[in-house]
């Protein structure tokens, strides 16, 4: 019992209130906010003792309340942990999955139909949902690949209110998931002094996400932490992403942790990744993969139409129902094998041609997200920027993770072997995972057939000369380009190295645009289609003609493969991005003939169509 002024202050909890003993006073017990409960108690005590003014006694009172309140919260957590124990047993029961009594071929066919239904419902709600949802499905499906033991962490990036959280919420009630709106990295293995070892095992996060998909819809607060906090945070995350558990030491609990196979997948979301985070990840070991959503640039008419229709709840519920039906059907596949309670399927090995494409993507990613210190050297001879030795990851882990992601994409459609559509799905992931300014210059480099000058960059990306020069120096140091002076002391030129020439090819352009078709036959659709079977031009047509063949039904820029939605957007793009250089083609939705020239493509009239073919 503690005497402060004339008031004896002891406290205890009764349900949802904390009572001050010897009085009728009480405050609300806030389980998730100890600070608010503490402040409320101090204010209540001050009111009870109206003659209370001594600052020393006030500090003594605060210490007393703090000690007692800490004990109350510890007792509450123990009580909550004990109550949650039966739920863990119930979870095991839900993982007893009854397989469907159908053939594997029927399961494939029906699953693919349900997969397309999810896409249809997503597109009905917004055309910007499906790409991110398809990525999230691919990440989740990695969990269901037999003999896959390497965790995968995928993060959806996009503007605020751009469907990121909505996509993750679609998985919230699915089996084999663990959802958290907020977490601390230290929660993976806790060292809270007030708990016993058995109680800590009940609250540790790492065993809870094992054999599950961890869902965290808001990672932006983590990306904005101070550098020392980020280093500790990502140090823990990169370690658990090795899949071998995690052990840490503290003065409160000594050495605690978990060792063995800890397989899981992780889907998160954030607004954008700051440059310092990319730098830190490159130093610790880059194990996060990103997917950037396209901006949802609606017109005023689109917003007005949505308000008038007011059909969001109906469309949302239709998508939720389609997702639930799809996931439930997938888990009960006749070829599934239960491993630690999780349905898993054996995947076939990919062909060498497909694997080579994945290797190329992984090697490009290693260069684009490498860490290279640069500094200004103005006033000296040379490029005005110098650099030290770069830190470039070995591609082996990236190759494995990208291969696993392509398998997840195939499995989501019921296929046991990857094809070109799965490899195409990796391209946005690779280009989203690297720093955005490097990717912007890389895209511009491809648009100019692998050669860029400083002026091309400053005009094409509307940036400053120093920024262009720094990024050109970075790409040179990372081994992606050659750099040389071009005509004057102020103009420099970079050229894409020959080992990355494939990224200028027709095959890469087609894969990036996703423009290849599969047979309507069920057997052909589920059959692996390898890189060597991809049909390309013999080289007799122009680049614009080849692009038109791949980009049928869209307004496409043949120089940089930018996908425009309307003729007006195509025209603006031509003027702004390729002044005097672009050859833009229009390919209408009705498959009209197209005339190509040094400027903008125009539909050819009936006379030209009768004369036969395209006029180039």
pLDDT band at 179; cut points 50, 70, 90: very high
The dihedral through the CA atoms of 358, 363, 364, 365 has a sign that is: positive
Query: What pLDDT digit, counting tens, does each position of 365-390 carry?
Result: 988 888 776 655 554 444 566 666 77
Global model pTM greater than 0.85: no
pLDDT for residue 521: 35
pLDDT digits (tens, 9 = 90+) for 229-242: 888 888 888 899 99
> Taking 90 as the threshold, does the pLDDT of residue 422 lie above it?
yes
Half-sphere exposure of 362 (CA within 13 A, CB side): 22
Using the predicted structure, report yes or no on whether residue 338 has a pLDDT greater than 70.
yes
At 19, which helix (H) or strand (E)? strand 17-20
The residue among 44, 31, 39, 45 whose CA lies nearest residue 3 is 45
pLDDT at 99: 87
Q: How far apart are CA 401 and CA 153, in angstroms?
A: 10
Cβ partners under 8 Å of residue 131, min gap 6: 291, 293, 294, 428
pLDDT value of residue 465: 82
Tell me the per-residue pLDDT of 498-509, one tens digit each, with 9 for 90 and over. Answer: 999 999 998 898
**What are the residues whose beta carbons fall under 8 Å from the beta carbon of 588, sequence distance 6 or more?**
594, 603
The dihedrals phi and psi of 334, each to the nearest 5 degrees, come to -65, -20
Q: How far apart are CA 532 and CA 537, in angstroms?
A: 13
Sequence-separated contacts (24+) of 62-69 with Cβ below 8 Å: 64/2, 64/4, 64/9, 65/9, 65/11, 65/38, 65/41, 66/38, 68/10, 68/11, 69/11, 69/18, 69/34, 69/37, 69/38, 69/41
With beta carbons less than 8 A apart as the criterion, state whether 112 and 227 touch: no
Note the pLDDT of residue 383: 52
pLDDT band for position 438 (cuts 50, 70, 90): confident
If one counts every other C-beta atom within 10 angstroms of the C-beta of residue 548, the result is 21
What percent of the chain has a predicted confidence (pLDDT) above 70? 74
Residue 122 has pLDDT above 90, yes or no: yes
Q: What is the pLDDT of residues 137-152, one digit of tens each?
A: 999 999 999 999 999 9
Is the confidence at residue 266, as pLDDT, over 90?
A: yes
Tell me how far CA of residue 425 lies from CA of 15, 134, 403, in angstroms: 52, 9, 11
Q: Please give the mean pLDDT across all residues of the chain.
A: 77
Among 122-131, 537-546, 588-597, top mean pLDDT goes to 122-131
List, edge to edge, every strand of the sheet that includes 177-179: 177-179, 213-216, 265-270, 152-157, 288-292
User: What 8-state DSSP symbol labels residue 183?
Assistant: -
Give the pLDDT band (50/70/90) at residue 559. Answer: low
What number is the average pLDDT over the span 594-602? 30
* Alpha-carbon gap, residue 396 to 336, rounded angstroms: 29
Q: Which domains, and CATH codes, for the chain?
A: 3-91 (no CATH), 103-344 (3.40.50), 352-504 (1.10.10.10), 537-616 (no CATH)
Section 193-222 average pLDDT: 88
């Amino acid at each position: 019992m503690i005497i402060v002024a004339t008031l004896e202050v002891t406290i205890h909890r009764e349900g949802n209130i904390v009572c001050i003993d010897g009085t009728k006073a009480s405050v609300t017990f806030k389980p998730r906010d100890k600070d608010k409960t503490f402040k409320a108690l101090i204010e209540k005590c001050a009111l009870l003792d109206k003659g209370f003014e001594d600052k020393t006694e006030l500090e003594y009172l605060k210490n007393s309340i703090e000690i007692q309140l800490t004990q109350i919260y510890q007792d509450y957590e123990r009580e909550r942990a004990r109550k949650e124990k039966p739920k863990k047993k119930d979870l095991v029961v839900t993982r007893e999955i009854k397989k469907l009594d159908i053939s594997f071929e029927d399961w494939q066919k029906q699953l693919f139909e349900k997969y397309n239904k999810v896409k249809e419902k997503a597109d009905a709600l917004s055309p910007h949902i499906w790409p991110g949802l398809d990525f999230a499905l691919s990440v989740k499906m990695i969990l269901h690949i037999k003999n896959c033991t390497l965790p995968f962490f995928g993060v959806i990036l996009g503007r605020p209110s751009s469907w990121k959280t909505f996509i993750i919420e679609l998985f919230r009630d699915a089996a084999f998931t663990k959802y958290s709106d907020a977490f601390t990295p230290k929660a993976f293995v806790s060292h809270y002094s007030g708990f016993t070892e058995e109680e800590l095992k009940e609250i540790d996060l790492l065993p809870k996400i094992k054999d599950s998909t961890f869902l965290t819809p808001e990672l932006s607060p983590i990306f904005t932490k101070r550098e020392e906090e980020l280093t500790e945070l990502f140090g823990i995350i990169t370690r658990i992403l090795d899949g071998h558990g995690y052990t840490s030491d503290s003065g409160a609990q000594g050495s605690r942790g978990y060792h063995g196979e800890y397989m899981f997948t992780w889907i998160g979301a954030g607004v954008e990744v700051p440059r310092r985070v990319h730098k830190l990840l490159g130093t610790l070991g880059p194990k996060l993969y990103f997917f950037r959503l396209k901006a949802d640039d609606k017109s005023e008419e689109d917003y007005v139409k949505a308000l008038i229709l007011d059909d969001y709840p109906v469309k949302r519920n239709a998508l939720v129902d389609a997702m639930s039906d799809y996931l439930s059907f997938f888990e009960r596949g006749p070829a599934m094998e239960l491993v630690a309670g999780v349905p898993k399927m054996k995947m076939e090995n990919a062909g060498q041609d497909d694997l080579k494409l994945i290797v190329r993507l992984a090697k490009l990613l290693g260069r684009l997200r490498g860490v290279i210190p640069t500094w200004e050297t103005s006033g000296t001879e040379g490029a005005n920027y110098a650099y030290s030795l770069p830190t470039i990851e070995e591609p082996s882990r990236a190759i494995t993770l990208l291969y696993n992601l392509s398998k997840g994409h195939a499995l989501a459609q019921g296929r046991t072997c990857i094809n070109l559509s799965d490899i195409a799905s990796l391209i946005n992931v690779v280009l989203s995972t690297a720093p955005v300014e490097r990717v912007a210059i890389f895209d511009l480099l491809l648009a100019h057939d692998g050669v860029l000058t400083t002026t091309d960059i400053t005009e094409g990306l509307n940036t400053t000369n120093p920024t262009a020069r720094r990024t050109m120096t970075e790409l040179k140091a990372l081994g992606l380009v050659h750099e040389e002076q071009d005509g004057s002391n102020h103009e420099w030129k970079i050229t894409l190295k020959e080992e990355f020439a494939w990224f200028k090819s027709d095959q890469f352009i087609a894969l990036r645009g996703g423009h290849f078709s599969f047979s309507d036959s069920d057997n052909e659709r589920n059959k692996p289609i390898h890189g060597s079977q991809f049909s390309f031009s013999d080289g007799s047509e122009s680049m614009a003609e080849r692009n038109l063949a791949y980009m049928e039904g869209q307004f496409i820029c043949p120089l940089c493969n930018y996908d425009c939605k309307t003729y007006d957007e195509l025209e603006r793009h031509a003027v702004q991005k390729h002044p005097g250089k672009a050859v833009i083609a229009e390919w209408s939705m009705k498959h009209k003939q197209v005339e190509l020239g040094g400027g903008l493509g125009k539909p050819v009239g009936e006379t030209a169509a009768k004369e036969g073919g395209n006029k180039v």
